[in-house]
Amino acid sequence: MPDATPSTPPSPVCDAVAAAQRYFAGEKVDFSAVPLDLEGQNDLFQQIYAALRQVGWGETTTYGALAKQFGDDWEIARDVGQAMAKNPIPLIIPCHRVLAAGGKVGGFSAPGGAATKVKMLELEGVNLAAKPAQQSLGF
């Protein structure tokens, strides 16, 4: 954009950037009040994103649990997965807090993929240490 000129971003953008910096410095940050423009996202995705924004720091949910908020149709679970994959703002709409069944990490559409998801959850104090499929009998 050759005609673009630098300017100061609007205050909500500055506030969101400052909050993201605090988040990655390890401070507990609530992004649920950050104003979003989700124009172009379908109504169901917007509803899924609104529900997900209620999952706070250090909390997780699953794709299935999120889907159940919208009905019992198996296609809703698929829609939740698609909404996470198309999430335009992965930190503000915290799809890193959505796990696969059994507490498995699942995917993550932001740069770094699942490794970034794990780091973000660890930053929030979520322990994803793999549990053995079979417990030791201790002898």
Task: Give the list of residues 6+ apart from residue 93 with CB closer than 8 angstroms, or none.
Answer: 36, 49, 52, 53, 87
Q: Which two tokens stand for residue 82?
A: 């698609």
Nearest in space to 33 (alpha carbons), one of 56, 10, 8:
56
3-state secondary structure of 8: coil
Residue 82 burial (10 A CB sphere; 0-12, 13-18, 19+): middle
Which listed residue (52, 55, 76, 95) is catalytic?
A: 95
Is 95 considered catalytic here?
yes
**Residues identified as active-site:** 95
